[in-house]
Structures are given as C-alpha cells and as structure tokens.
Amino acid sequence: MNILLTKSLLLSFFIAVTTTPLVIKFFQKKGWVDDPKTHHHPKVVHRYPVPRGGGIPVFLAVSITALFFLPADHHLLAILVAALITTVVGVIDDIKEVSPYWRLLVNFFVAAIIIKGGVAINFITNPFDTVFSFEKFPLIKIIITSLWLVWCMNIIGWSGGVDGQLPGFVVISALVIGALGLKFSQDITQWPVVTLSGAIAGGYLGLLVFNAYPQKIIPGYSGKSLAGLMLGVLAILSGAKLATAILVLAVPMIDGGIVITRRLLNKKSPFWGDAQHLHHLLLKAGIPKPKIALFYWILSFLLGILVLNLNSQQKLYALAMAFLLIGGGIILLQYFINRSEKK
C-alpha cells in the first residue's frame, strides 16, 4: 500500500516539476501575468509581475498519474472531467478575472458531475459511532455533497495568498488522508484513495518548487479551486471522513468561516475578496511571507498528526479546541491590528 502512495507521488511530482516551467514561460510570453501595478486589489500581496496558471501542471500531473495507476471507471472519469472543467475555468479567470458568481455557478456544476459519477456522501458517522445513511434520502445526499465540494473549492483557495502557502498545506493534507487510508489497507476500497492522495500530493509538491518564496508562479484560481475539489473528493472517497478533513484543514476552514461571517455582518457580499484573511493579518503584523507559509505548514502537520492518532470522539474534542484556539486567535489578531490602524 505504501508503494502505491510513493509511486503515485513520485510520478505526479516529476510531471508537475517538469511542466510548471513550461507554463511559466508560456504565460510570460503571452503577457498573462499578475502585475500589482495594474491589478489593484486589496488581496494582492506580491510586489512584482508573476504568472498565474498553477492549476495546469497540477491537473496534468494528477490526471496522468491517476490514469496510469487506476482503472478508468466512471468514478475516476467523473472526477477528472470535473477537474478539467475546474482547471479550464480557473485558467480563464487567471488570465482575465471572471465574476465570482459565475465561478460559484461552475462550482455547483462541477459538484453535479462528481455526484453523477457516483461519488457522494452516502452516510455520516457521528462521534458515538452512530451512522446516518442518506441512501433513502437522495436529495439530502445531493445537497450535502454539493455544499461540501463547493465549500472546499472556495474556502481552501482563500488561504493561498502568500508564496508557498497553499501548495504546502495541500501536500500535507493529501498525505494525511493517504496515510489514513494506509491504516485500513485491508480494505481494498482504500487503495484508489491512497493512490489519488499520492498523485495530489506529488502534483502540488511539484508546484511548490516554483511557488515557494520568492515565487515564480502563482497557483491562481485554477490551482486553488482544483486543490479544494480534489481534497473534498478525497474526504468523500475515504469514507465520508469530513471531520478528518475539516480538522487537518482547520486553519483555512476556520479563517474562511470567520471571513464570511464578518462580511455578512458588514452587509457585504461573501464572494468578493478583501485583505482580512489570516495571512493578510500576519503580514500586517510584520511577519515575513516565508514564515507565514511555514506557520500554515506546521499547523497542518500537527493537526494531521492528531487526525492519525485520535478516534472519532477525540477528533470532535480536538475540532472544538481548534475552533476555540485558532478562531479566537484570528479574532484577537484582527482586533489589535484594526485598533492599531485607527490610531
């Protein structure tokens, strides 16, 4: 089983690390760069023109690796078609920004493709090992699966504004889900999960080589939304381990939840970006970009260790503690920064 994870990771990494320079050169040649001098937006934190399009090499790496190691059944084909549409729309947005409402519509369309392919949340197990099955309630299953995937595609991408930030914690998250599959290696349904986890980790590790500080390419909406889609799908394929995914991705999940709540309280659209995410606050606090990325990686790693060593009930307590500590920390940091800016 660990051979499946290693082989898929290495092949995917090789494809991503060799194709990313080609994408960089192509985007630079076409002039498709994110120039902070012309792209005036509060969420922009880089100081020099950088091409987006990070989703292209990752999609190639993940799809080629998956097709090489896994049977092309209707589940995999649905996932790859959804990933292709996500990447294409993402690249269009990377070149010329698309309305967030159109992107949201595409998110739901992509989720529908995944569900149509037979990948859905069929049950949820609570911390007391009681199983709630949705087999007799197909509409509820569709709604929950759609909301989960769309949530992941947006929230995870919001934590990708700093060099190396997003690819790093995506690699860790994918490996944690893969390692969780290794713990249940006697269940053959976990083998594709392990392989796909390795492919996703390898793809984003290859992107990280060029996105680490100082970045030569930005993941862009293509790389961010693709990361959310694939991690959301992994959580479903691994047996509807949504709490596991939420815990290992607690930082972007909690940060995103706070941002949405704040925007709604201020009577603003939750879909339009601003400079109030955790990484923006840390930048305002004077923390360098490499340390912010490292902070995200370390927290993801520590949360991943917890995930692999806790039972269902303990994960609930850990999740509650994470919401309290991380959420409280973000709110306090925002309070002190806003107060200092008003002086």
The residue assigned the tokens 């760069």 is 33
Beta strands in 1-158 (DSSP E): 33-34, 50-51, 123-125, 131-133
Render pLDDT for 76-129 as a digit per residue (tens, 0 to 9): 999 999 999 999 999 999 999 888 899 999 999 999 999 999 999 887 776 556
Judged by DSSP in three states, 49 sits in coil
> Is the peptide bond prior to 214 cis by the omega test (within 30 degrees of 0)?
yes
Query: What pLDDT is stored for residue 39 in this prediction?
Result: 67
Query: What pLDDT is stored for residue 269 in this prediction?
Result: 80
Can you list the pairs that 184-189 forms with residues at least 24 positions away whose Cβ atoms lie under 8 Å?
185/1
Query: What pLDDT is stored for residue 45 in this prediction?
Result: 76
Radius of gyration of the chain (CA): 19
For the chain, which residues score pLDDT lower than 50?
A: none
The residue assigned the tokens 């989720």 is 111
Angle at 233 between CA 230 and CA 238, to 5 degrees: 125
Query: What pLDDT is stored for residue 189 in this prediction?
Result: 67
Cβ neighbours of 273 (radius 10 Å):
15
Q: Is 187 exposed, middle or buried (0-12, 13-18, 19+ CB in 10 A)?
A: exposed
d(CA 308, CA 315): 10
